[in-house]
Chain A
Amino acid sequence: MNIIAAAIAIWGVIPSAIGEAWVCSRAIDGISRNPEAAKTLRNSMILACALVETTAIYSLLVSILCIFLG
């Protein structure tokens, strides 16, 4: 039962993955239009990716807690 709960909880990474892909594609768009701003855009992209990743980390945390403590 714990494993099923963990498997359901890990579904929360799907929207996060989509959002991260969106961030990356937009950043690549911006870099291809204005290659001079590549450094700034890359730094902002990594920060934004890590911020978007937070939701995925929450669901990973819940799923780990379900396995080990549930």
Chain B
Amino acid sequence: MFDNFFKLKISAEVISSLIVMGIIIILSVVIGIMAHFHDPLKKPKGLLFLAEMGVEFFDNFAKDLIGTRLSGFGGFIMAIAVYLFFSFIFGLTGLPSPVTNMAIPLSLGLISFFTIHFISLRYKKWRYFKRYVEPFPVFLPINLLSMWAPLLSLTLRLFGNALSGYVLMNIVYYALENLSTMIFGTLIPGEWSGIFIAPLVAPILHLYFDLFSAFIQTTIFISLTTIFIGQEIPDEDEVLSSDVKLLRKGGKNI
């Protein structure tokens, strides 16, 4: 039992994920120290400026989609977005991208799934359980099944995108290596003849499959998470507008 416990079998993607986390931790500590010693009256420069822009963007993003009722949600979204973006473009270094292991998209999906349900439970109290028996109590098993749909869709979207990009890039590299061997094989003998065409073609494909899809998938993931969370919180404006109507009616009567 203890032999297996001490010799943990960790897959390569998990190690890449730990490296990504380390990079993010170092970045945030550096930015924190810079922000601490920075004169607030001067204009921020470089990394600090980028960080302030990001924080402002995500705060506004959360405020637009969730509303003012749940403040301070921008940090959660920013953490997820930064981690997801970094782990998508980590594939550019040649090491395996963390998202190509099913465990990491599943963990991200579980985080957003539990957040959605926890916030719903916190704000709707007992009315939360009403969703399982809508519109009739007969629909209980169907509702219990369909409750897992957002989790599956969030997870498989990330995993499918990353895995399809990875597999397609591997196929392209294989084909280009063979093509290069076919053309230059007679001039340069040995294994070195396969490296000439891939550097010309592959960067454009990497631009699409790594950078563009990383940006798009991060945007979609955080948008969906925020929209789902915003749906669970009862609207503050509705209450206010109904109060205003009541006040107006009272005024007319007087």
Residue A3, interface by CB 8 Å: no
Indicate which residue in B164, B167, B220 contacts A50 across the interface (CB closer than 8 Å). B220
A50 in contact with B160 (CB, 8 Å): no
Indicate which residue in B153, B159, B220, B223 contacts A61 across the interface (CB closer than 8 Å). B159
What are the residues of chain B within 8 A of A25 when measuring CB–CB? none
B161 in contact with A57 (CB, 8 Å): yes
B164 in contact with A47 (CB, 8 Å): no
Indicate which residue in A46, A47, A57, A64 contacts B157 across the interface (CB closer than 8 Å). A57
Indicate which residue in A50, A58, A60, A64 contacts B216 across the interface (CB closer than 8 Å). A50
B167 in contact with A64 (CB, 8 Å): yes
Residue B78, interface by CB 8 Å: no
How many angstroms between the C-alpha atoms of A39 and B223 in the bound complex? 19
Classify the interface of chain B: helix, strand, loop or mixed.
Answer: helix
What is the interface residue range for chain B against chain A?
10 to 19
What are the residues of chain B within 8 A of A46 when measuring CB–CB? 216
Kindly supply a per-residue 1/0 record for chain B positions 217-252, scoring 1 wherever the CB is within 8 Å of any chain A CB and 0 otherwise: 101100100000000000000000000000000000
> Quick one: given A47-B223, A54-B153, are A61 and B216 in contact (CB under 8 Å)?
no
How many angstroms between the C-alpha atoms of A51 and B161 in the bound complex? 12
> Quick one: given A46-B216, A61-B164, A64-B163, are A54 and B157 in contact (CB under 8 Å)?
yes
B160 in contact with A57 (CB, 8 Å): yes
What are the residues of chain B within 8 A of A50 when measuring CB–CB? 216-217, 219-220
A60 in contact with B160 (CB, 8 Å): yes
Kindly supply a per-residue 1/0 record for chain A positions 50-69, scoring 1 wherever the CB is within 8 Å of any chain B CB and 0 otherwise: 11001001101100100000
B160 in contact with A61 (CB, 8 Å): yes
Indicate which residue in A47, A54, A61, A64 contacts B219 across the interface (CB closer than 8 Å). A47
10 more CB-based (< 8 A) A-B contacts, given A47-B219, A58-B156, A61-B160: A47-B216, A47-B223, A50-B217, A50-B219, A50-B220, A54-B157, A57-B156, A58-B160, A61-B164, A64-B164
A-B contact pairs, 6 of them (CB 8 A): A54-B153, A58-B160, A61-B163, A61-B164, A64-B163, A64-B167
Residues of A bordering B, CB below 8 Å: 46-47, 50-51, 54, 57-58, 60-61, 64
Residues of B bordering A, CB below 8 Å: 153, 156-157, 159-161, 163-164, 167, 216-217, 219-220, 223
